[in-house]
A and B are shown apart, each in its own frame.
Chain A
Amino acid sequence: MEVMIGLEVHCQLDTKSKLFCSDSTDHHGKPPNADTCPICLGFPGSKPKVNKKAIDYAIMIGMALNCKIAERMWFSRKTYFYPDLPKNFQITQYEVPVASDGYLNVGSSRIRIRRVHIEEDPARLVHMGGDITSAEYVLIDYNRSGTPLAEIVTEPDFKNTKDVRAFLQKLASMLEHLGVYDSSEEGSLRIDANVSIEGGERVEVKNISGFENVEKALNYEIVRQNGMRRMEVEVERETRHFDAESRTTKSLRKKETEDEYGYIFEPDLPEIHINGNWMENVRSAMPELPDQRVARFVREYGLTDYSAGVIVYTDKRLADFFEGCCRIYGRPAEVANWTINYLLKSLNWRSERIGASKVREETFVELLQMIDSGEITERYAKELIKEYVDSGESPRKIVGMEGDGGAAPLEEAVAKVAAENRAAVEELRAGKGEVMGFLIGRVLAETGKRGDPKAIREAIMNYLNGPEAGMPR
């Protein structure tokens, strides 16, 4: 059974003020409902006024997604009653979106983009004493009300959840490269996913935050729909809600069609003409995009397409980090290897993105330099990196080899190992070099795999020639 998935990605545009009023979009350290005014609260008599920056950003997104940009466009009212909508209608775009008919290549597949449109974010609801279906009551925070959103709608071109994940990652990286989106804001990227299984109706899973949740929600939904098919229960067209805690989806309502929202043209906002001049200004302000950056990484740093892709498409901050490390350390192949194969794994294991982590270019380079100088083994470095990602401490400090405090523990470990393995020590003394490896291994185990085998070998030789040799401890 073929699975078909289409996405609606809502991206909060990182403008200073809201879409239709001058309230701030930065609510850090402010109580609920602090950034509100008669316009974003929908007071009688107030009128919206378009923030042109939001349109610039949406045009940029459209261009980066290879879309056609509308020459004329307008806003519409989408009417539905919901407590998060102060006007009980949402100002959005209907007939003509700012951008349409584009695509984004992900690996070997091309995901077609149906449209990109601009709309206002509703208020944030906090469900008290339960979830969306069981809450006793709901608190409303209008700080979010009126935040500009770009809604990116794909065609149902995804056949599996892995492609969805890859697409979302690349899209997020692209949005970050464009500088239109702040990934550190909670809920700045929210996804509605439409899933259907060949022959069945389409089910929309609404309002999923976080890529992992998208994957979980889709996996659950595919299993659920497949199960229904096997039981010969018809899959109905409906809207479902993803519950991140139980990792399941719950039915919200039988789905309305778009026409049932009773769209009219937003009469408070005149038609907007995007002329060539405007387009040119936006185009010339376009920064380097992920695909271009990948090509440059291959060209400038000699990375493989694969490595460059992993670094750039994962996260713009990761790509910035890579370049920062290269500036300090050089040796891009090493940086790429350690970034992709070890650093990224540790971050993923912690479900952390580099921007929010304690990893810094200087300390990461320090770790690479420790390997180079033989202070630590590669094998040990692979262990150390986990601790480093956890704590963000300087790797030298973690290893505890800073200053002269480093020498004593090694000698102690050698003495201990020698005492416990007298036979091996005797064999070594007798010229059986092959036991050296065994002893080094024991010492490494003793030091918690810290230490450079060369140094350990030296310490063992010192021990053999030293005064305590042969003396029982």
Chain B
Amino acid sequence: MFGLIKSLVKDHLYTLKSTKFDTEGFIEDVLAKSRRLQEQYSPFIAINDSANAEGAGGMLYGLPVSVKDNICTRGLQTTAGSRILEGYVPPFDATAVAKVRQVGGIVIGKTAMDEFGFGTFATTCAYGVPKNPFDKDRSCGGSSGGAACVTAAADFPHIALAQSTGGSITAPAAFTGTVGLTPTYGRVSRYGLIDFSNSMDKIGVISRCVYDSALMLSVMSGYDPLDSTSSAMPSQDYTKYMTDSLVGVRIAVPREYFSDVVDRRISERVMDALAQLEDCGATYESVSLATTKYAIAAYYLIAVSEASTNLAKYCGLRYGLHDSIDGNFDAYFSKVRSEGFGEEAKRRIILGTFARLAGFRDAYYLKALKVRTKIIEEFKEVFRKFDVIATPSMPILPPRFSEIERMAPIEKYNVDLLTTAPNMAGVPTLSVPTGTVGGLPSGMQLIADHFREDALVKVGSVCEGLKWK
């Protein structure tokens, strides 16, 4: 069954190696197509008009790559989706981007996202909301919405560099029928990633197929002396774990991830997938991850606490949005921050500042960290007996923008129900499409133990061959 989803990327890279290729013409064509995508779906914040291919002979030579706008690109505007960084051109490449460029990847543009990653629907972006290629009235998911949008809509070979803190890769991958790989925390250097919640931020991939995600992970992962939290474990070629047999693979199915809150049509697709995986040699078993019910609260407390300190630096003094200098420092930065931050950013700054203040720090911030430890322990316990955990990716199908507008903040946060626990535990996840439900994509989330992306690629590659009723 392996190989049913054809990797455009693989074919493209193969063609490049074996024939003479007009790189300039190709890039021009890709940029023109990107501009058309922008008109249709607005997935980009910036298109790189001076895109070029460096790193001749590298393993990604000639491959168009889009980069989520919170990942720094030297010489190309990087705003993290926020007006407060409008016009900011980083003087350096994020390590992940540098690695991609070194092996010939072509940065074609910066993709739209919720401001600083603060959202599940890519609707809080200061530069336009990406529209779902399946239905333009619906969300692409967030916060890596632009990345998923380009991936789903592009008819040229392309891989997206995305990023997740609490589900920002899984959500848009599920909503757009694409593959989203969120690596283990520390697997890919965060140097050059604009911080949201440093203890949970991970650079990952959104792609058309599992092979492409595995390929990009192989390029990006590895120790980086510039990021003290990056792992010393050597990188490897993750594409070699592509397989068509799951003999001996044990899958855990946590009850808490199939509750009534989850759209039944989505969980049924996961159960259908599990039955088919069993036919490929895997076994599955129901387990309990009881701490899951605390995950959203704990996740948001940690995330906003860290985010509120990370956002302190944006004060219109050294980069990004400026204003005429009058009044004292306090008056000036208050003015710039009032203008530059969107509503959700302000909400999270206030929440985060509150959660770490005197008198609340113990009850909120520190307690949330203890819950995280519990959640990690619980995952570790499951992975003693199982290779992967399978859950639905998102509890809902891609919602209409009009529906999102009516949601209260807490309702939006609750949509992260299935992704916050693995994300705060720092374990890797892979979201794979499970066909469409009523014309809208749904997805299955696979979770593995720390640094076991190999298990995700293995199971994920088999999932690509599954049939949907």
Contact = CB atoms under 8 A, between A and B. Distances in A.
B317 interface: yes
Interface string B171-206: 000000000000000000011111101110000000
A257 interface: yes
B85 A88 contact: no
A267 B198 contact: yes
A45 B90 contact: yes
A82 B333 CA distance: 10
Interface in A186-207: none
B91 A43 contact: yes
A83 interface: yes
Interface string A63-79: 00000000000000101
A244 interface: no
Given A42-B313, A44-B85, A270 B318 contact: no
Given A47-B228, A268-B228, A86 B358 contact: no
A112 interface: no
Given A43-B91, A45-B94, A46-B191, A81 B365 contact: no
B193 to A, nearest CB: 6
A232 interface: no
Interface centre among A46, A79, A83, A86 (most CB of B within 10 A): A46
A49 B228 contact: yes
B330 interface: yes
Interface in B58-106: 71-72, 78, 80, 85, 88, 90-92, 94
B428 to A, nearest CB: 19
Contacts of B306: 264, 267
Contacts of A87: 312-313
B166 to A, nearest CB: 14
A49 B230 CA distance: 11
Contacts of A45: 71-72, 78, 90, 92, 94, 191-195
Contacts of A50: 228
B353 A262 contact: yes
Contacts of A83: 317, 329
B247 interface: no
A45 B93 CA distance: 9
A260 interface: yes
Nearest to B93: A45
A260 B356 CA distance: 9
Interface in B215-239: 225-229
Contacts of A49: 225-226, 228
A260 B313 CA distance: 18
B52 interface: no
A417 to B, nearest CB: 72
A444 B453 CA distance: 94
A237 to B, nearest CB: 15
Nearest to A137: B325
B359 A259 contact: yes
B311 to A, nearest CB: 9
Interface centre among A41, A47, A79, A89 (most CB of B within 10 A): A47
Contacts of A38: 90-92
Nearest to B94: A45
A49 B189 CA distance: 13
A432 to B, nearest CB: 83
B115 to A, nearest CB: 13
A46 B72 CA distance: 9
Interface in A241-264: 257, 259-260, 262-264
B243 interface: no
A269 interface: yes
B7 interface: no
B361 interface: yes
Given A42-B318, A259-B357, A264 B194 contact: no
Contacts of B305: 264
Contacts of B309: 77, 79, 89, 262, 264
Contact of A81 (B199, B312, B361): B312
Nearest to A20: B228
B266 interface: no
B365 A264 contact: yes
B420 to A, nearest CB: 17
A270 B308 CA distance: 20
Given A262-B361, A263-B356, A264-B356, A81 B329 contact: yes
B401 interface: no
Nearest to B311: A88
A270 B198 CA distance: 11
B312 A269 contact: no
B149 to A, nearest CB: 23
Given A44-B80, A83-B317, A87-B312, A268 B229 contact: yes
A190 B16 CA distance: 62
B284 interface: no
Contacts of A262: 308-309, 353, 356-358, 361
Interface in A8-66: 38, 41-50
Contacts of B91: 38, 43
A269 B199 CA distance: 9
A263 B358 CA distance: 9
A66 to B, nearest CB: 31
A87 B94 CA distance: 19
A263 B362 CA distance: 11
A263 B361 contact: yes
A260 B228 contact: no
Interface centre among A43, A257, A259 (most CB of B within 10 A): A43
A83 B92 CA distance: 24
B53 interface: no
Given A260-B358, A268-B228, A44 B319 contact: yes
B210 interface: no
Interface in A124-179: 138
A263 B305 CA distance: 9
Given A49-B225, A49-B226, A88 B312 contact: yes
B100 to A, nearest CB: 15
Nearest to B356: A262
A83 B312 CA distance: 11
Interface in A88-113: 88-89
A81 B191 CA distance: 24
Interface in B97-144: none
Contacts of B31: none
A259 B363 CA distance: 14
A81 B333 contact: yes
B150 interface: no
B199 A267 contact: yes
A255 to B, nearest CB: 13
Contact of A44 (B190, B313, B353): B313
Contacts of B94: 45
B427 interface: no
A259 to B, nearest CB: 3
Contacts of B195: 44-45, 268
Interface centre among B91, B94, B313, B315 (most CB of A within 10 A): B313
21 contacts: A38-B90, A43-B91, A44-B78, A44-B90, A46-B92, A46-B191, A49-B226, A77-B309, A79-B312, A79-B353, A259-B361, A260-B357, A260-B358, A263-B361, A264-B306, A264-B309, A264-B356, A264-B365, A267-B198, A267-B306, A268-B195
Interface of B: 71-72, 78, 80, 85, 88, 90-92, 94, 190-195, 197-199, 225-229, 305-306, 308-309, 312-313, 315, 317-319, 329-330, 333, 353, 356-359, 361, 365, 369
Given A45-B90, A47-B190, 14 more contacts: A41-B318, A44-B80, A44-B85, A44-B194, A79-B312, A79-B356, A81-B312, A89-B313, A262-B308, A264-B309, A267-B199, A267-B229, A268-B190, A270-B228
* A-B residue pairs, 10 tightest by C-beta: A259-B358, A88-B312, A267-B198, A267-B199, A262-B356, A45-B72, A45-B192, A44-B194, A87-B313, A42-B313
Interface of A: 38, 41-50, 77, 79, 81-83, 86-89, 138, 257, 259-260, 262-265, 267-270
